[in-house]
Structure 1
Amino acid sequence: MRSFTNILYDTLHLFYPHICTGCGSDLLPQGNQLCVYCINDLPHTNFAQFANNPIEKIFWARIPVTAAHSEFYFAKETLLQHLIHQLKYKNNTDIGIYLGEMMGNSLLQSGRFSQLDYLVPLPLYPDKERKRGYNQAAVICKGISEIMQVPVLNDNVVRRRFTETQTRKHRTERWENVEGSFVVNDPTVLQGKKILLVDDVVTTGATLEACGSTILQVPGTKLYIATLAYATK
């Protein structure tokens, strides 16, 4: 005889179907955001395991980064682009937390991101965050925090001025666009700490560099960087 729990689950599923965020299939375990086929289709980089990986090389001769990682390769018209679009523009914070948990597992297993003190989401300009309703980097941090048990520091590093979209700018223009955009409200909180700066996608790294350099002005800080995706030029 089927258990009452299974019958209840099947009844609820009929009226409130739990479907895969990637393909829309309802063939996925309860609590998952993606079916097994979409999970297997995600393009993991495995960068967390290796020093001098492509993400760390982005910041060579720019800012001292202790270790850096991107969980997935990004390409247009792919599953991953769809998932990031769901996170940023469709209020689907659950998928951001879920992918953040995946990244947290990679960071934890690598051993190169141990003993972090804080996760810092790359700040959005306040008006933009109010319009969206949340900062997608903070959502990703929530997933990482669930796995790594490292607290998220949301309001100490802030973006103090609006910047234009970086999409069509080359590297120099991107840096000029974001230079001086960030400030640390209370440097004593970060002093002597290991900080993981988190964002959704990295391309040239200009925005992360600008924010990271501000964090590194606090004495004794060590900077780590992690993004959900790596978009090659």
Structure 2
Amino acid sequence: MKTNWLQDFLQIIYPKFCAGCGSDAISSSQPFCLLCESKLPQTHFFKMKENPITNIFKGRLSIENGGSAYYYTNDTAIQTLIYSMKYKEDRNMGIYLGKLLGKKLKESDWFSQIDALVPLPLHKDKEKKRGYNQAELLCQGISQISKCEIITDAVIRNKATTSQTHKSRTERILAMEDKFELKKTERLAGKHILLIDDLVTTGATLEFCGLEILKAADTKLSVATLGKSMH
């Protein structure tokens, strides 16, 4: 009760506005009003055993399930939110978006199968420059919904890459070869791992990280992202 009162007071003194429509009808802990949140372009992939995400990895990576929560296109609210998380040092946004992703996963009963979450690793230099790994923030939000363990030290990104945004699928695959390394097999062995990232386009980055994860004995893999790029 005290916390709610304090949040209401702070909203009066230092009002926050919805990142989508500019309304002040939001709590101090939320970046989006409920109306704008409901308008985010949902994919409903988590309710489909086969969907565009599982099709991306067919014949390339053995996964149990795959999905994305929202469609991602330029000049939309979901792009604004992800940009804020990645490039404006908005850690709270990352956790908030993770909760949204976690709720979508929970609706489809994925968590009954998952043992642990693994955020897609950043190279140590890039993570140091940014100050955090956005995929790990998403995992923190998901974990608040699912109570799943987060494992961050089993797979590392041992080589830095340039931006993948404007690269073709072939260029992305060549750029990702030998970029990930399984360091702690025992952390993943015998578990069903849910690999998390913010966006999927061609799936090359997730594919090569996933292949390293599957080197651990008796490991199963599923993949989930916040957004599915429509580019």
Instruction: Give the TM interval when normalised to the shorter protein.
Output: over 0.9
Aligned length: 231
Equivalent of 2:20 in 19, 22, 33: 22
Separation in structure 2 between the aligned mates of residue 104 and residue 4 of structure 1, nearest angstrom = 27
Q: What are the equivalent positions in structure 2 for 1:200-215 lying under 5 Å apart?
A: 200-215=198-213
| Alignment match, 2:118 | 120
State, as a whole percentage, how many aligned pairs show the same letter.
46
> 1:148, 1:8 → 2: CA distance?
27
8 Å contact from structure 2 (residues 31, 93) kept in 1: yes
Are the counterparts in 1 of residues 193 and 222 from structure 2 also a CA contact under 8 Å?
Answer: yes
Please give the secondary structure, in 1, of the residue aligned with 2:63.
coil
Larger Rg, first or second structure (1 or 2): 1
In structure 2, the residue corresponding to 1:201 is in which secondary structure? strand
Cα distance, 1:9–1:115 mapped onto 2, change above 3 Å: closer
Q: Is the 8 A contact 1:67 1:113 kept in 2?
A: no
TM-score (ref. length: structure 1): 0.93
Counterparts of 1:207 and 1:6, CA distance in 2: 41
Deviates more, 1:93-102 or 1:146-155: 93-102
Distance (Å, rounded) in 1 between the aligned partners of 2:7 and 2:173: 51
1-structure distance, mates of 2:207, 2:171: 13
Contact 2:7 2:28 in 1 (8 A): no
Residue matched to 2:10: 12
Check the 8 A contact 1:49/1:112 in 2, yes or no. Answer: no
Residues 153, 184 of structure 2: 8 Å contact kept: no
CA shift in 2, pair 1:137/1:10, >3 Å: closer
Q: Could you say if the C-alpha distance between residues 118 and 8 of structure 1 is closer, same or farther in structure 2, counting changes exceeding 3 Å? A: closer
Pair 1:148-2:146 in alignment: yes
Judge conservation of contact 2:8–2:28 (CA < 8 Å) in 1: no
Alpha-carbon deviations, 1:72-96, whole Å to 9, x = none? Answer: 0000011111111000000112122
1:160 pairs with one of 158, 170, 176:
158
TM-align CA RMSD = 1.9
Aligned to 1:38: 36
